Amino acid sequence: MKIELRTISEKEYEVKNESGNILCIDMYEQAEKKHFSPMQLLLSAAVSCAAVDIVTMMKKKRKNIHDLQATVLGDRREEYPQKFTSISINYILFSTDATQEESQKTMDLAVKKYCSVIASLNTDIEIQYSISVVDKY
């Protein structure tokens, strides 16, 4: 895997993957923000990596998945490096035939075993997660 980075300006960067897809990153304050920051991308990677695994496993169980939504919150240290100290992910699975129990087991597997992003995080980061099943869309 290879990513190339180039500087657009002092607070703006562009990364490109091997397929040529481009992603812009900025370090502006919230009021001026145009793109994600690196730390926002890290949270996005964690929540989306596990989401892909959850949906894939539920589809293999032949479950009718209408949508999977999530909110991820990250708490960071005040001192440098301002790394994450905890990450909390809350998924909502929209399905007419998935149970809470099987969804919980699937999420456990996704987060603890299959998600490469979460597995790559420092082990001193507290990871909390939950899933709720909504039986309509």
In tens, the pLDDT along 26-75 reads: 999 999 999 999 999 999 999 999 999 999 999 999 999 999 999 999 99
Minimal CA–CA distance to 62: which of 19, 20, 106? 106
Flag whether pLDDT at 8 surpasses 90.
yes
Tokens found for residue 93: 């699975």
- Give how far the C-alpha of residue 14 lies from the chain's centroid of Cα atoms, to the nearest Å: 20
